[in-house]
């Protein structure tokens, strides 16, 4: 009788363990499968910039040492001067589940947690000749540059590279300089991802203003 009782208890324990594995294996798998970046905003709830393309580009190249720092420089500007800012990432996994991730200004985004889609109009694919204009260590290198609005952009990487003089570049941001209007009637933005002195950064300059790097 006692042996039968022990066998029954052992059977219950095995079933409980199996059930526990079933319950906890799904969330762990979901965490490890990665999240596709859908949209990203940097700033406050009321004042923020759409930094989807900047973040995709930085994440797509693994960031720096596997991390992307959240600050005004890497996010292409300060949308809310004097305020505590946050990077909000809206993402979706393979199960089509959606989740929002928040990172405070000054923190780091782990690149391995997120996925970006290659091609199809995304800005995250590596350009031909990745590495910039010259071969000198520490010099200004234009990695990627786009002009337009989300979904309607012109790749102006080569054009911008050709305008670099020494280790700097300065030019007005308008349709004439960048060879046309990729989004008629919309207020356009020039997005530049670049490396200077071994540090990768991003800049966002609105149409009508002047880009100056570094």
pLDDT at 130: 37
- pLDDT tens column, 87-138: 999 999 999 999 999 999 999 999 999 988 654 444 433 333 333 444 445 7
- pLDDT tens column, 144-197: 888 988 778 888 999 999 999 988 999 999 999 999 999 899 889 898 988 888
pLDDT at 45: 92
- Full DSSP string of 136-166: -TTS-EEEEEEEEETTEEEE-HHHHHHT-BT
In whole angstroms, give the CA distance from residue 128 to residue 53: 18
Rounded to two decimals, the pTM is: 0.59
3-class secondary structure, 11: helix
- pLDDT tens column, 3-60: 555 545 445 444 444 444 343 333 333 445 689 999 999 999 999 988 888 888 888 8
């Amino acid at each position: 009788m006692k042996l039968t009782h022990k066998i029954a208890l052992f059977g219950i324990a095995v079933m409980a363990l199996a059930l526990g594995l079933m319950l906890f294996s799904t969330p762990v798998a979901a965490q490890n499968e990665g999240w596709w970046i859908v949209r990203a905003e940097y700033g406050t709830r009321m004042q923020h910039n759409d930094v989807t393309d900047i973040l995709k580009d930085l994440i797509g190249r693994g960031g720096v040492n596997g991390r992307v720092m959240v600050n005004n420089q890497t996010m292409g500007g300060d949308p809310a001067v004097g305020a505590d800012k946050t990077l909000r990432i809206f993402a979706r996994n393979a199960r089509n589940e959606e989740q929002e991730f928040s990172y405070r200004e000054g923190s780091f985004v782990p690149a391995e947690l997120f996925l970006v889609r290659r091609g199809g109009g995304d800005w995250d694919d590596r350009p031909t000749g990745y590495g910039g204009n010259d071969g000198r260590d520490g010099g200004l290198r234009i990695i990627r540059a786009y002009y337009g609005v989300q979904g309607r952009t012109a790749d102006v990487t080569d054009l911008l590279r050709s305008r670099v003089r020494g280790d700097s570049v300065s030019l007005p941001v308008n349709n004439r300089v960048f060879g046309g209007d990729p989004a008629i009637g919309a207020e356009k933005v020039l997005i530049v991802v670049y490396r200077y002195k071994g540090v990768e950064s991003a800049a966002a300059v609105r149409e009508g203003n002047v880009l100056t790097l570094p």
